[in-house]
Structures are given as structure tokens and as C-alpha cells.
Chain A
Amino acid sequence: MQEHVVVIYPHPDDESFGASGTITSFREKGIPVTYLCGTLGEMGRNMGNPTFATRESLPEIRKQELIKACDVLDMELKMLGYRDKTLEFESREEVAKHLYQYLEEIEPTLVITHYPGYAVHPDHDAFGAAAIQAVGMMAKEKRPTVWAQAISRNYIDELGEPDILNDIGDVFATKLDAIMAHKSQADGMLAKIQEETQEDIETAAKTWLGIESFYTWQF
């Protein structure tokens, strides 16, 4: 079976902060990657620093940032059209079926998503759960591996060490470029990381984001 990776996250920038190093490594091996992005981050509260977006202009700005980041990462993008903050209130079944249709068509060998219950943002938890349900709907012989990403403060205590630890140091510059594509969001986030670690932005970001870790999901 031909390798193909599908990344399933709800917000523009989740892919860049969370998995862009891993994505870059796959692309360097010539493996296609498709991003199923749930929303346009319409309700994000970062408006740039200094602010350049409004609640009403933010969706289009983030859409363009997302397209740019996917260009940087050389991955295909599908925007699924849900609304930020509302995923947990949608029908889990319907969201899972929606994702399932994409998976049936793409036939990925690997799916990367959030670890439900350990992913902090309610959209992460809900979309991760729907993604895993969607993979579970596939026939066993067609079912891809799932790498689930946990973010919460307590995840190692409760889940143990993640089994996939990708040191992405070699491709970190690309990761930083992808993050920077999300200008409205990155200004605030990177400043925060820098403030907490008191280092220059690249070193600080590398300390925080230099390893991408995942749990292989057991069905």
C-alpha cells in the first residue's frame, strides 16, 4: 500500500505548532500529506500584536495564513467548514462520518490527530475523538495507524511516556517558517514562549517545540 499521511486538527496553526516537523520529515521522503483542517479558528483571541485583525476579518486572515503554512509544508489542504469552539456540540457521529468519507477516499497509512481528553482545547478533544471514531469505522485491513497527540499538563502522569518521539531538530527552520505563516497567532505565542524561557526566539521555540510526540492508538 502506498504511504499517505492524513493530519486531522481543528484549527489553523495546530498543524504548525504540533506536527510540522513530523510532516516535513514525511514530505522529504516523498510521502504525500493531506491536512483536514476543521475550522478557520474564527473565535481565536489573538488578533496580532499589535492588533491587525477584528473578530470579523479574522477568518479570512487565518484562511490565508493556513494556505501559506500548507505551502511551506508542501501538504495538501482540505478545509472542512466547521466553526471554531463549536465542534464538541456537533453530532460526534456526523463529524466522524464526514472524516470517514475523506479517509475512505485517501486511504492513508497514518493519521495524526489529538489525543481525546488530553488535548486541552475542547475542539481538540472533540475532533480527535471524531477522527479516532472515523478510523475505527474503517475495515480492519484498511485501517491506518493513528498517532494521537496529548498536550495537557498531566498527560505523562496518566498515559505514560509517548511511544513516538520525533526529534525534529534537522527540520526546525521549516517548522518555524510554518508557525510564522500564522502571523496573527504566532506573534503572541512566540513572545510568550520567549518570555518564559528568556532565550532568543529560535532557541526558545526549539526548547519548547523541538520534539513532537505521539501515542500510537490501540484499537
Chain B
Amino acid sequence: MDTIKIDQVQKEIDARANKEVYIHLETTNGAYASHFNQEAYNVGAFIRNANVSYARGKIVGAGATYRVGLKLDIGWIYAEGVNQYEIDDEGRLLMAGHDNEGRLMVALQIGEKPFTY
């Protein structure tokens, strides 16, 4: 993955607007968070293959991290903290935020076909 370049990612988001797309959205601090640190509290959520269409999508932020919002007919998809992106070999837009040890903290991915499940 590369560091996010906001103009390029915005173009990729625009290119997938008003189409049927599949979303992978995820955030986690890991299944071992409270094992390694008793003060910590495990949280995580993921949705794989939400089948939606967004009329408008926008990436906002500067410097280290970005927020992405996708406006749906009846709701929103939102992710905060993405800092890297990639168009993978299947043309999917993958965005993710990692901590300084390379561990994934948040991911928002948009594909035109379902992600493998």
C-alpha cells in the first residue's frame, strides 16, 4: 500500500460512485488487546460485502490520517484513520490505517465484485 494521495484517492472514489459496489469496513484493536494490557478493552467490528451504491463519496483530512464518508440513499458509511491505499490486482480500492508497528486499525475497501468470503 502507498501513502494516501488525496487527489488520487478522491478520483478512485468518484469512479465507483452510482454503481453497485461491495464494501468491506472494519476496525479492531486486536483479540489480544486486554491480554497484553489489562487496562485495555477489546473492540472490533467488521462488515464484509455490504452491497450498496453511493451517490457521493469524499475523502477529507490532511497529513497523517484521513476520513472517508460515502453517502447512501438511506444512510452513510464512514471510516476515520485511513492513511494508506492501493488499487489491488482486481481493481478494488483498498484503504487502511495502521499503527506504527504495521498493525491494521481500520480498513475501508470498495470493490465492484464481492470480496472473497
- A residues touching B (Cβ–Cβ < 8 Å)? 43, 45-51, 54-57, 59, 83, 85, 120-123, 151-153, 187-188, 191-192
Could you list 21 A-B pairs, sorted by A, with CB under 8 Å? A45-B28, A45-B103, A47-B98, A50-B102, A51-B84, A51-B102, A54-B1, A55-B24, A55-B107, A55-B109, A56-B90, A56-B109, A56-B116, A59-B116, A85-B31, A120-B32, A120-B35, A121-B32, A187-B102, A188-B101, A188-B102
B86 interface residue, CB < 8 Å from A?
yes
Q: A56-B92, A188-B101, A192-B101 are in contact. List 17 more A-B contacts (CB 8 A).
A: A43-B46, A45-B104, A46-B102, A46-B103, A47-B96, A49-B101, A49-B102, A51-B1, A51-B102, A54-B86, A54-B94, A55-B107, A56-B116, A57-B88, A85-B31, A120-B32, A121-B32
In the assembled complex, B41 has its CB within 8 A of some CB on chain A:
no
The secondary-structure label for the interface of chain A is: loop
- Give bound CA distance, A191 to B31, whole Å: 18
B78 at the interface (CB under 8 A from A): no
In this complex, the interface size class of chain B, counting residues with CB under 8 Å from chain A, is 20 to 34
Give the number of A-B contacts (CB < 8 Å). Answer: 68
Residues of B within 8 A of A188 (CB): 101-103
A12 to B92 Cα, complex, angstroms: 26
Mask of B21-34 contacts with A, CB within 8 angstroms, 1/0: 00010101011100
| Complex interface: chain B residues within 8 A of A152 (CB) | 35
Would you call A45 and B88 a contact (CB within 8 A)?
A: no
Q: Which 10 pairs from chain A and chain B are nearest by CB?
A: A49-B102, A51-B102, A45-B104, A121-B31, A45-B103, A120-B35, A188-B101, A45-B30, A55-B107, A47-B102
B76 an interface residue at 8 Å Cβ cutoff?
Answer: no
Q: Are B32 and A56 in contact, CB atoms less than 8 angstroms apart?
A: no
Q: Could you tell me if A83 and B117 are in contact, using CB atoms closer than 8 angstroms? A: yes
Expressed in whole angstroms, the Cα–Cα distance for A125 and B84 within the complex equals 33
Chain B, 70-113, contact with A by CB distance < 8 Å: what is the 0/1 string?
00000000000000101010101010101001111101010000
